[in-house]
Amino acid sequence: MRGAEVIRRLWSNPVSLLLLATALFTFLIQSGEMGTADTARRLQVTHSLWTGEPQVLRDDYPDFGIHGRHGALYAWYGVGQSLLMLPADVMGTAASHLSIWRHYVRSRATPSIRDIAVSVSTNVLLNVLTALVAFRFLGLLGFSLGESIAGTLALLCGTTHLHYAQNMQENNYIFLLTLTGLGLQYRWLRTGDRRSLLLGAGALGLNLLTRLTTALDIIAVAWFLVLVGIFSRDRTELRKRRAADTCLTYLKTTVPVYAVFLFLDRLYQFVRFGSWTNTYMRLQAQEQRRWDPSLPANFPFSGHFFQGGIYSGILGPLFSPQKSIFVFDPLFPLALLLTVVLWKRLGPQLRAFAVASLTLLAMYMVLYARYFTWAGDSAWGDRYISSAVEMAALLAVALLVRYRRELGRVLWSCGLGVVAVSVAIQVASLAFWLPLELYQMENVGHGAWTIPLRFRNIADFAMGRQLPMGIDLPGAVTDPWDAMHIHTWNFMPALMHKVGVAPLWAVHWLDGV
């Protein structure tokens, strides 16, 4: 009776329904694989944490791995995502020993049982938590229940967040922790609750273990809080004195927390490479220069800010056909437009968020502009800045719904059109394994617009036609694993069916679910 009452309440609660819907669609889009070699390597680091296995498999070197203390091979990357995957890795490893799929495990087919357990459970967990945090944050910014739900669903299904919920780079984990830190620290600013500030600092500090560059997120969150004060326009003497006290409390609470996480990151660096001060980027460059002495002295930051036009580090993320954030995340230009049009109607917290999220994006763009692969290839879109873009796009749909009447019929309709296009683009990003278009462009030796090419690939594959740009010709893809993956829908039942090791009943069962 009690159980039935709980279910009835959950069924009548929009928030629990939002979380349930998020869990369901995240489960449905899974491929059962890590999605990229980077994450597969980070999972190997996870495995090394609790088993006797090395951080880097011998076959991976010299493509991957740096010689560290005692001449051992160590992985680059921070330890954050590896720690995140630890419980799922233990669970997945145990599950792979069950006799029910002994034959499948022995065949070493992909996706492996361990990869399925890790990717599905981690991605569903991250997405559900992100839904909860985004919903709460939009509520804190003053949006109603419906506006917050629309904004949250738009974030999850209408931005590149959807792609990274299938292909588990570090992006969505970083996004979740940044949004959590932002929400909690803003709650402290509004209520004075020190526990929120402490927990918010903990979330932002935890991010440092994944990538040290998330120090920019810490700066952006502090900048957001400052901007809330600036846009509040209350500049009385009492307010100024209180602002000084608030700053002092903020620094006294957050800096020690950040220092602890920075120390943990440095400790991990010392354990691997015997240094407290260097970064894995520098060591990685040294290692790669050893194999390729022709690399420039400033490698990997050997790119250019503007030289190279639309393929340069600054203009590329904005305008290049392969990576433009306006094309990959159409909600971002919509958010920009709505912020400008509605600026006079926006409260101080919304103005502050719009400016702070754009600042974060600008900082990331400048930071990665000179990196030799400024977009982090192989990746869908520009993965180094996509989390910041998603943050900047967060307000788009919530603003659209709230100011529907004020915007007028034309803007409202255009806005809905952009949302529909954006969702279609994100859904298309799930259809194939992400290097397909990269292979195609490599094959013909020139660039193309990635998104239209993806839609063409979907149409051709669905109708049983040859894929464009010669990708189906013999020898176009030499690696058989890659060839299999780019010729299969990137969803778990399709992959298992294509590999042909899993029993058909299991594939049909998965299809049924």
Partner 1 sequence: MIAGAALVFVLVRLFRLAFWQARTAAGQGARA
User: Which stretches of the chain bind partner 1, using CB under 8 A?
Assistant: 11-14, 17-18, 20-21, 24-25, 27-28, 144-146, 149-150, 511-513
Q: How far is the CB of 77 from partner 1 (least distance, A)?
A: 33
Q: How far is the CB of 138 from partner 1 (least distance, A)?
A: 12
Residue (21 or 428) nearer to partner 1, CB? 21
Q: How far is the CB of 511 from partner 1 (least distance, A)?
A: 7
In the block, residue with structure tokens 């049924």: 512
Q: Let me know: does 351 contact 292? Beta carbons within 8 Å.
A: no
Residue (22 or 359) nearer to partner 1, CB? 22
Sign of the dihedral defined by the CA atoms of residues 307, 308, 309, 312, in that order = negative
In the block, residue with structure tokens 């088993």: 51
Which whole-number Å values give the CA distances from 39 to 45, 89, 161, 210, 276, in the listed order?
Answer: 10, 13, 16, 12, 25
Which whole-number Å values give the CA distances from 94 to 55, 91, 164, 185, in the listed order?
Answer: 20, 5, 26, 39
Q: How far is the CB of 493 from partner 1 (least distance, A)?
A: 11
Q: How far is the CB of 25 from partner 1 (least distance, A)?
A: 6
CA–CA dist 438, 450 (Å, integer): 8
Q: How far is the CB of 12 from partner 1 (least distance, A)?
A: 7
Sign of the dihedral defined by the CA atoms of residues 392, 394, 395, 396, in that order = positive
Q: Which residues pair with 73 in a beta bridge?
A: 67
**Pick from 117, 359, 114: nearest CA to 216:** 359
For residue 234, give every residue at least 6 positions away whose Cβ sits within 8 Å of its Cβ, in sequence order, or none: none
For residue 381, give every residue at least 6 positions away whose Cβ sits within 8 Å of its Cβ, in sequence order, or none: 160, 163, 323, 325, 328, 329, 375
Residue (18 or 325) nearer to partner 1, CB? 18
Residue (66 or 400) nearer to partner 1, CB? 400
Residue (146 or 470) nearer to partner 1, CB? 146
Q: How far is the CB of 24 from partner 1 (least distance, A)?
A: 4
Q: How far is the CB of 34 from partner 1 (least distance, A)?
A: 22
CA 443 to chain centre: 28
Question: What are the tokens at 44?
Answer: 């190997």
Residue (30 or 357) nearer to partner 1, CB? 30
Q: How far is the CB of 425 from partner 1 (least distance, A)?
A: 20
Residue (22 or 312) nearer to partner 1, CB? 22
Residue (150 or 228) nearer to partner 1, CB? 150
Residue (13 or 298) nearer to partner 1, CB? 13
Residue 505's φ and ψ, nearest 5 degrees, are -60, -35
Residue (112 or 152) nearer to partner 1, CB? 152
Which whole-number Å values give the CA distances from 454 to 92, 114, 276, 420, 467, in the listed order?
Answer: 33, 29, 44, 17, 10
Which helix (H) or strand (E) element contains residue 358?
A: helix 348-369
Q: How far is the CB of 124 from partner 1 (least distance, A)?
A: 11
In the block, residue with structure tokens 């630890």: 86
